[in-house]
Amino acid sequence: MKKPGKTVAPALLILAIAALVFFAMRPKPVHIETGQAMSGPLQETVEAEGETRAHERYTVAAPVSGRLMRIELHDGDRVTANQAVAVMTPTPLDKRERDAAAARVSAAASQLRAAGEQAARDRADLEQARRELARTRQLARQGLSTTQALEQAVTTEQRAARTLAAAEYLTQTATAQLREARAALPDGRGNIRSITLRAPRSGPVLRVLEKSERIVTAGTPLLLIGDPQKLEVVADVLSSDAVKISAGAPVTLDEWGGPQPLRGVVRLVEPYAFTKISALGIEEQRVNIIIDFCDPPGTLGDGYRVMARIITWSGDTTVKIPINALFRQGENWCVFVVKNDRVARRTVTVGHRNQTEAEILNGLSQGETVVSHPSSQLDDGMRVRSG
């Protein structure tokens, strides 16, 4: 008769070997990175590279073809309105050219009249906006108007003031253009007179485009005048993104070189699109977005680069996850949820999203753990290890 100890020992040995084989053949846990579904604020943004420019920029151009004398001004020099900035001698005119010069005088006079009429209309709009602001302030003091209505009235008055200032600048430009057009005509004896080009407004010279004496054609830009203290930002976005943006949308301006982002607001979504070739050689329809600064622009100048993040939607309390946790399966958005060191695929409903986070409308609860950057190796029920 065999002793019990001699029977149990081989059985235990077989079980141990079987356990070792099982654990050796068992799939190793897949290493993953994780994120969490959490509740918090979320903003949907459109990002675009932008460029600063003077809000009112004036180009002094050659009114006729002729010899341009050397321009003595330099970039950054300040000029006053009506100051002489360049001198040129027109080429002799034949009959056709004299008729064209007379036509330019007539056109410049019409532009001046149109600019004056526009300035008069804008002046009336500003006066109306100021009266409306005064009434709204009175109603607000009596508790009969909302803060929002008062803010809207203030914005309308400020916008009307800027519009009038722009119209007055256009009137000054039209006046200078008329003066230059008249100077291109011969005098009563048929002699060609030198033309003195004058600054249409006061401000610094942003750039001298033609510094040396040479022959130029009519319309050649000679120098730019503007005020770099009154800057705006122009950023072009895809037309499919432009439809989400409206005037008044808040903007964050970053990557401009300063320690803190600057605040801005969309003033205008231009009503027309243009074709632009992307870095990949693809034709894109893009739209210019004009942005005003809310914060002082600091040391920014004309033509400086900024990164504009235009906020098209914001929510204070949303369930959100890292955008890199989402993946497509057919028509659906999905995530891998981690529970007890195993993953489970789950279909979710995605709302708004930005470059880093996505709003989850259905399918996830606050506090659940999801897989970031899920690989194609993952599948339902797989063991995982995070860290």
Residue 183's pLDDT band, with cuts at 50, 70 and 90, is low
Query: Can you name the residues that pair with 350 across neighbouring β-strands?
Result: 360
- In the three-class reduction of DSSP (H, G, I as helix; E, B as strand; rest coil), residue 10 is classed as helix
User: Do 309 and 324 have their domain in common?
Assistant: no
Q: Does residue 3 carry a pLDDT above 80?
A: no
Mean local confidence (pLDDT), 367-385 = 87
Mean local confidence (pLDDT), 47-56 = 90
Helices (H), the chain: 4-25, 95-141, 147-183, 239-242
CB 219 within 8 A of CB 104: no
Q: Give, rounded to a whole angstrom, the gap between the first and last alpha carbons of the chain.
A: 57
6 within domain boundaries: no
Q: Does residue 177 carry a pLDDT above 70?
A: yes
Count the residues in the chain: 387
Distance CA 178, CA 163 (A): 23
User: Do 168 and 301 have their domain in common?
Assistant: no
Domain end position, chosen among 264, 289, 314: 314
Tokens 């407004």 sit on residue: 201
Residue 241's pLDDT band, with cuts at 50, 70 and 90, is very high
Domain boundaries, position 176: 94-185
User: Do 301 and 337 have their domain in common?
Assistant: no
Instruction: Give Cα separations from 108 to 26, 175, 382 (angstroms).
Output: 87, 8, 78
Ramachandran class of 17: left when φ > 0, alpha when ψ lies in -120 to 50, beta otherwise: alpha
User: Do 86 and 136 have their domain in common?
Assistant: no
Ramachandran class of 149: left when φ > 0, alpha when ψ lies in -120 to 50, beta otherwise: alpha
11 within domain boundaries: no
Distance CA 201, CA 170 (A): 10
129 within domain boundaries: yes
Domain end position, chosen among 200, 226, 252: 226
Domain end position, chosen among 226, 253, 275: 226
Distance CA 53, CA 36 (A): 42
User: Do 72 and 84 have their domain in common?
Assistant: yes
pTM of the model: 0.59
pLDDT of residue 188: 53
127-136: per-residue pLDDT in tens? 999 999 898 8
CB 156 within 8 A of CB 129: yes
pLDDT of residue 19: 58
- The DSSP H or E segment spanning 145 is none
Going by C-alpha positions, the residue among 54, 76, 51 that lies closest to residue 304 is 51
What domain count does the chain have? 4
User: Do 195 and 252 have their domain in common?
Assistant: no
Q: pLDDT averaged over the chain?
A: 86
User: Do 161 and 101 have their domain in common?
Assistant: yes
Distance CA 347, CA 345 (A): 7
Instruction: Give Cα separations from 80 to 172, 201, 202, 226 (angstroms).
Output: 12, 6, 4, 11
Contacts with 324 (C-beta within 8 Å, 6 or more apart), sequence order: 35, 372, 373
User: Do 286 and 138 have their domain in common?
Assistant: no
User: Do 279 and 139 have their domain in common?
Assistant: no
We report the CATH number of the domain holding residue 327 as 2.40.420.20
